[in-house]
Structure 1
């Protein structure tokens, strides 16, 4: 009889947590989901209280990264990393100890993870994963976020950042604009500012642009700029006064 592993899903994006939960339900004979956590603090408490066999862990979370969370644990469960970043040292994860899933996560990829779990031997696991974390920490190149997860009606969409023209605050949400469509996300502009790659620039308290879509920049009064994007709407965006130096440094 195969072992039934208990699991906790840790991700700061609600659609990603829900999407992974739905995928894992297809493997209910191998995985029992104990719950979810939306940040490192909540996750640490639930890991201590629930003692899951496995955690499906997002790497980049505001406040406390997945790596920082693991460093705080006295006993580390089996870890399956789930992330939108694809430039970590993936070869470090090619063992029977852990697995690494790049978003968007596919059903057939999780099936491989389940197969790996069946042959997993939990010998000196905490020591092994700490060695892996040290190896990753020694890498000089920073990871790059490549997509963002959004929910629309009952469906999950994975939007490539290359297709995003700009992000804009919209009430309690952030609107993700592309040449094809716009989507609402429960992310915040502040969190996105921390996570997005260098080709994105915050030009206003509520606006982040993709610099690759900028067509031209014109000076405006009160130390502001009008930035025109090379999208199908030829969108004009006005910068905030407090971002004057940031924009000047970029265009210089």
Structure 2
């Protein structure tokens, strides 16, 4: 019997690391989790020190992303990307050296990764993989975040962006207002703004709305707007003056 693949999970979100760990524990004959990392610097050190067989790697992380990590490694392990974005040139990952999982990752999808590993032959060199990554980076594919992960008590909850009416800053955290209730994300609102797709718009220093939830917009004094949403509470939000131009561009006033 073959030994399980020594595995490092790399993701900047603790709930995502924990969720993936729980999924991989269902396959002890395939994966032996030896460590975790939450950023590129930490991951590079641990990969060089421990030389894992395989890494599960989030693409989008603060400061440096998953591609940046791989480009810093002399020897690249087997890579399984885990990300909330689904437009990173999927065809580039359809090789025996790279697999690609879209969050929220499901158990059935991990089963497919396990099956792929059973017939795996590492026939791609690190140089070949880096060439693929450089090609992907040069294409500047549009990022499309489809969901966000939050932790509530001991549960991981995956919220579809389509169900979110707006985000609201709360100190160093962000409140998520959606049809199923209010949730708290550990990400700052500025970090989220950089990741969200085009149907989300920042209208205030502390608020990002889902434009698909907008019911009506009224002009307000001091170059501001009052925006009413189609959520259950029919939330009414007043925009900030400094976001006047962005809102006008959107509604073409």
Determine the structure 1 residue equivalent to 2:248.
248
TM-score, normalization: structure 1? 0.93
Gaps of 5+ in 2: none
Task: Say whether the 8 Å CA contact 1:146–1:160 is kept in structure 2.
Answer: yes
| 1:138 positional shift | 4.2
The corresponding residue for 2:78 is 78
1:140 shift after superposition: 5.2
Quote the RMSD (CA, aligned, Å). 1.7
The residue aligned with 2:33 is 33
Q: Does the CA contact (< 8 Å) of 1:218 and 1:227 recur in 2? A: yes
| Residues in 1 aligned to 2:210 and 2:92: alpha-carbon distance in whole angstroms | 32
Partners of 2:125 and 2:103 in 1: CA distance: 25
- 1:162-220 Cα offsets, whole Å, 9 max, x none, are 11110111233211111222211111101101100011111112111111111222222
> In the TM superposition, what are the counterparts of 1:145-184 in structure 2 within 5 Å?
145-184=145-184
Aligned to 2:136: 136
| 1:64 correspondence with 2:64 | yes
Match of 2:189 in 1: 189
2:168, 2:174 within 8 Å by CA — same for their partners in 1?
yes
Secondary structure (helix, strand or coil) at the match of 1:73 reads coil
The range that moved more, 218-227 or 189-198, is 218-227
TM-score normalised to structure 2 length: 0.92
Q: CA deviation at 1:78?
A: 1.0
The reply to whether residue 106 of structure 1 matches residue 106 of structure 2 is yes
Deviation >3 Å, runs of 4+:
138-141
Cα contact 2:172–2:187 (8 A) shared by 1: no
**Number of aligned positions between the proteins:** 252
- Structure 1 stretches lacking a partner, 5+ long: none
* In 1: Cα distance, 2:23 partner to 2:61 partner: 21
